[in-house]
Amino acid sequence: SQQGEEDPQALSIQEGENATMNCSYKTSINNLQWYRQNSGRGLVHLILIRSNEREKHSGRLRVTLDTSKKSSSLLITASRAADTASYFCGGETSGSRLTFGEGTQLTVNP
């Protein structure tokens, strides 16, 4: 069963704009992770937020977590054409089991 469910499925923006992707999950998690996947490649870890954290920053990335709503958001500020990729959230449960959603396809137009 899928743990994460991303919204929107696809997002197209202009370079320099901010991109926001949302994720909802079903069961209790230890942490939530965001990954990027370029076409034909494996997933690349972006950021991890623990269940007792509410917000985390890393460079141009900002992640929030609301455990009461079982939801998370990923904000990419000042987007670049190189940010074009699919983005997946994954909830990690006890036993280090990471389950992903279907992803958001982000297109950043130059």
Piece of 11-19, 63-71, 77-85, 88-96 that binds other proteins (CB under 8 A): 88-96
Piece of 12-20, 60-68, 74-82, 89-97 that binds other proteins (CB under 8 A): 89-97
Binding flag, residue 48, other proteins (CB under 8 A): yes
Provide DSSP, 41-85: S-EEEEEEEETT-SEEEETTEEEEEETTTTEEEEEE-S--GGG-E
Q: Please identify, using beta-carbon distances, which residue of 79 and 87 lies nearer to other proteins.
A: 87
Tokens of 34: 């965001």
Binding flag, residue 7, other proteins (CB under 8 A): no
Binding flag, residue 22, other proteins (CB under 8 A): no
